Amino acid sequence: MTEEEKRIFELHPSLARVERRQDDGRREIKSFVLRGQKLKDYQISALENHFDEYAVVYDENVKLDFASLFGNGNPVVIEIGFGMGESTLRIAREHPEVNYLGIEVFLFGFSKLLANAAKEDLKNIKVMRFDAVQVLQDMVLDGSVDGFHVFFPDPWPKKRHHKKRLIQKPFAELLASKLKEGGYIYCVTDWEEYADQMLSVLGSVDGLVNPYGGFAPPVPWRPETGFERKGLEQDFTINEVWVEKRG
Ligand SMILES: C[S@@+](CC[C@H](N)C(=O)[O-])C[C@H]1O[C@@H](n2cnc3c(N)ncnc32)[C@H](O)[C@@H]1O
């Protein structure tokens, strides 16, 4: 742990919680590996000055009330694993009529999006540093979310790691249960075999409908991400999956 992280964790102990092992010492299967990257001054200063305004703290005993969190009744989209938050920031800037809750475990990316949202004084972004699976299970009410964005989730290419992939049936069912009627799940990947998995998994959940019957056409409002650029440089195909909740 760097000195900066130590200082930040002293200031906001909740941020360190995702780094702790389970109390019973069990190792759960997680979809992420925690990466460290030295925080820059602007990120530290944003964590010192804007944390309460932008950060939502994981608390298994609290259910999120989005209307009071954002101060309005606008639709809520949750982005899972936003990385550096570049697409989150742009989408939120261009859609002030929608509220965005970004969930990411990577402290550097979390702090970067928090700092950028504060710099632009955006009112429709909140960020969480925690495991999105637990956040959804413990803090998000059923039928309360208008959309989910999962852009370039870790592909875990090795077969023995496939169990770590986020988009699997139980998680897809969890997402579906949190959606409002008419809400959507939008996933994008540059890993073709994971794209096929997304298509079949999301297509197999009761109540989710794929209006395209296959991969979706690119959505014009989704900006290119850093991971996407890397994939494109290697000539990978970008596949998009869009499903909607219909009763
Ligand atoms: C391959 S990166 C893609 C980042 C970004 N969406 C992009 O396109 O540039 C996947 C990100 O998901 C995050 N992640 C994976 N599992 C997660 C989870 N369960 N909860 C929160 N974040 C997660 C990782 O930390 C990582 O930053």
Catalytic residue list: 154
Mean pLDDT across the stretch 24-46? 84
How many structural domains is the chain composed of?
1
Q: Is the pLDDT of residue 170 over 90?
A: yes
- pLDDT attached to residue 23: 56
Return the residue matching tokens 């639709």: 75
190 lines ligand 1 (CB under 6 A): no
The pLDDT > 70 percentage for the chain reads 97
CA distance 8 to 44: 7
Residue type, 30: K
- Give residue 189 CA to ligand 1 midpoint distance, Å: 12
131 lines ligand 1 (CB under 6 A): yes
Ligand 1 atom nearest to CA at 150? 6
Is there a contact between 111 and 82 (Cβ–Cβ < 8 Å)?
A: no
The reported pTM is 0.96
- Give residue 22 CA to ligand 1 midpoint distance, Å: 21
CA distance 148 to 85: 15
Mean pLDDT across the stretch 228-237? 89
Q: What CATH number has the domain bearing residue 35?
A: 3.40.50.150
- Give residue 88 CA to ligand 1 midpoint distance, Å: 12
Provide CB contacts within 8 A for 78, sequence distance 6+: 100, 101, 102, 103, 132, 136, 140, 145, 147, 148, 149, 178
The chain-wide mean pLDDT, for the chain, equals: 94
- In the chain, the DSSP E strands lie at 76-80, 99-103, 125-128, 145-151, 179-189, 208-209, 239-245
DSSP-derived 3-state class of residue 89: helix
Q: Which domain holds residue 230?
A: 3-245
Grade residue 227 by pLDDT with cuts at 50, 70 and 90: confident
Ligand 1 atom nearest to CA at 227? 9
